[in-house]
Amino acid sequence: MSTILVAEDEAHILLLIQRKLEALGYTVLTTANGDEALKIVLEDRPDLLILDVMLPGREGLDVCREVKTTLGDQAPPVILISALGLQRDVEKGINAGANAYIIKPFSPRTLVEHVENALRQR
């Protein structure tokens, strides 16, 4: 089964995502910090990243951009999650290299659909 890194600084959202994905059989790595997220990606090479846009340290957009630039074709898919839901916010995420952008609040079903779709594209 795939390994997914979740970087989210809101503990209740992080726990919700982690529990849902682990219940489906995924291995889930977690952090609440963008700098640590980048370190984990480069060291552990997860199959998928779920990044909050606004993280302490390095923001999720910056982590996404750095991962896509550094790993190129070997970069995992990235799903950004954010309470910022304006069209320009979504465009910033996609322009940073994200494969999907989910606006908070979101349903677990929506998350799972995006995860499964992103992993199929890998």
The domain segmentation of the chain, as residue ranges, is: 3-121
Label residue 92 by pLDDT band (50, 70, 90): very high
In this structure, which topology does domain 3-121 adopt according to CATH? Rossmann fold (3.40.50)
Q: Are the C-beta atoms of 33 and 50 separated by less than 8 Å? A: no
Label residue 71 by pLDDT band (50, 70, 90): very high
Average pLDDT across the chain, whole number: 97
Label residue 107 by pLDDT band (50, 70, 90): very high
Who contacts 89 (Cβ-Cβ below 8 Å, separation ≥6)? 53, 82, 101
pLDDT digits (tens, 9 = 90+) for 49-59: 999 999 999 99
Lookup: tokens for 2: 């795939």
Q: What is the average pLDDT across 10-26?
A: 97
pLDDT above 90: residue 80 = yes
- φ and ψ at residue 50, rounded to 5 degrees: -120, 115
Q: What is the average pLDDT across 50-76?
A: 97
Cα–Cα distance between 87 and 14 in angstroms, integer?
Answer: 25
pLDDT above 90: residue 122 = no
| Strand order across the beta sheet in which 48-52 lies | 27-31, 3-7, 48-52, 78-82, 100-103
